[in-house]
Structure 1
C-alpha cells in the first residue's frame, strides 16, 4: 500500500468499524500541561481505544535537547514508531483526551518525516466515550516493523530561520497560546520565560477552533473566518507557534483543512524564544 495521503480527520464511528484493520494503527498521543496535573500514561493504562498504543511525545523526541519534546532525528523517530508496529504502509490514527493535544502534534510529526498516511481522530477520546464506544485497559504490543523516514524541512522552523523570515516579512506568524499569555498579562506555565509574543505575530487561541458540543474541529467555513479575523492572508505563507510546538500543530491542522498543507511549525516556540535574552518581544 503506497504512502497515499489520508484525510486529516476521521470520525469516531468510522474508526470503530475498522479497529481490526491490519493496515490501521491507533496511537494515544495525550499530553497535558503542567498546570493540568494529569498523567497521560496513567490515564491511558486505565482506559483507551482498544488496540491503541501510547505515543509519548516526550520520549519520541530529541531527548538531548533541553527544550521539551523537540523533533528527534529521523532515524530515531523511525526506530521508535517501528516499535509501535508502524510501517510506511500503516494508516496512523492519532487521538488524545485533551483538545487535540497532542494528536495534532503527532499528525504534524509524521508528515515532517514523510508519512502522509496519518489522521487525527476528530473529537478525540472524549467524543469516543460520549458515543459509548468500547474502551480497554489492556496493553497491546504490536509486532515491531520497519519504518523508512523521509524529511520535509519546509514544515518545521528553527529560531534562526524564523528570525530571518520575520526580518524579511515573508511569513505570517500565528500564535496559538491563550490571549493573556500572548498579550503578556498572565505568566507562562514554564518558569524562567519572559511574557509577550514574537513582534508582528498574530493571535488565534487554539481552543477557538474546537466545537464545544462535539469536541471536534469546527466546520471549514467557520475555521476560515477565524483565521481571516486573526489577520491571516491564506494566500501567503504561515508559520504557527505556541508554548512548546504542541498547540501550534492544531493551527497547522486547521490550515491544512483550508488548503495550506505547507504551514510550518516553529518547533522551539515560546519556550525557546521567550527563554532567551537576545530575542525581541512585544506585549499587548
Structure 2
C-alpha cells in the first residue's frame, strides 16, 4: 500500500478531529496575512529557497530548514499538510514542500489536493488571524533515495538505465529562457544532455477552475507515450525543484517507485560552466 500523499479538504478536516495536524501555507507572507486556512502557519521559504546539492549546499539546506521547522513547532507525531493557492499558482510549490519535508525525514507529510482554492470552494474556515507557534527541536533525517545530486546526475548522463526527465515550461526546454524568474536569470539556457521533455502541466487537468492531478491510469498512459514506465529509474528536474516535485507526486500517485528529484535543477547546473549542456535553441 502506497503512502498517502494527497488529502482532499474534507479529509484534512476529518483528520484534524482525531490527529495532530499542521497546515503549512507556502504562499507569500502578504497573501497569508490577507487570508489563510484557519490555524495554518506560514513558511514561504519552502517555495523560494534555491538549493545546491553539493555536500556543502546540502548541509546548508538541512540547517536552514532545521531552524525553520523547529521554529514553527513541527513534531514527529504531527501530520504536515502543505498547501498553495492551486497547483499552477506557484509552480507546484505545495508539492515542493511535500518533497522537501519527506526528504528531511518527516514521514507524516501530505499535500492539500486543490490547495486553498479547493478549501474555499468547499466553504471551509479561513481567517487572517496570526497563529502562535511553540518552537521545538526538529531533527533532520535525510532520505537520500529521494534526491539526485549534481554529481549523481553528471554520472548518470551516459547510463541508459537512468531516464532524465525535464518537465520545465516549453520556453525553457527550447533554450529561449533560462528560468521562470526571467529570460536571463541563470547564466545559461538549454537542457541537460540526453534528457527527454514532458511539460509539467500535462499531468494536471481542471475541474471547473481548479487544477488536479490526472488519474493514475491516465498518468501511466501519458508517460508510456514518452517511453517512461513504472519500473524505470527516473530523475526529474526543472529550474529549482518545484515543478519537479509536482511531477514527483504525479508519478508516485501513478505507482512509479524509482523516482528522484534533482532538487538543485537547472539553477544549480547552469551556474557551473564545466557541466555539459545542450544549448541549441529549438523552434
The answer for the alignment partner of 2:228 in structure 1 is 232
Give the alignment partner of residue 23 of structure 2, picking from 21, 26, 34.
26
The answer for the alignment partner of 1:109 in structure 2 is 100
The answer for the alignment partner of 2:215 in structure 1 is 219
Q: Distance in 1 between matches of 2:46 and 2:99?
A: 15
Of the structure 1 ranges 269-278 and 44-53, higher mean CA displacement relative to structure 2 is found in 269-278
Classify the secondary structure of the residue corresponding to 1:212.
strand
The answer for the alignment partner of 2:43 in structure 1 is 55
Q: How many residues align?
A: 270
Alignment gaps of 5+ in structure 2: none
The within-5 A match list for 1:130-169 is 130-169=121-160
Deviations, residues 59-111 of structure 1 (Å, cap 9, x unaligned): 9958899xxx9784435433321221211111110011142631111111111
Q: Do 1:102 and 1:247's aligned partners in 2 also have CA atoms closer than 8 Å?
A: yes
Q: Distance in 2 between matches of 1:215 and 1:59?
A: 19
The answer for the alignment partner of 2:239 in structure 1 is 243
The answer for the alignment partner of 2:190 in structure 1 is 196
* Greater fraction strand: 2
Residue 242 and residue 164 in structure 1: after superposition, are their counterparts in 2 closer, same or farther (change >3 A)?
same
Residue 6 and residue 83 in structure 1: after superposition, are their counterparts in 2 closer, same or farther (change >3 A)?
farther
CA RMSD, Structure 1 to Structure 2 (Å): 2.8
Q: Do 2:204 and 2:212's aligned partners in 1 also have CA atoms closer than 8 Å?
A: yes
TM-score of the aligned structures, taking structure 1 as reference length: 0.84
The within-5 A match list for 1:87-126 is 87-99=75-87, 101-126=92-117
Deviations, residues 214-263 of structure 1 (Å, cap 9, x unaligned): 42211111111222223213212111100111111111111211223441
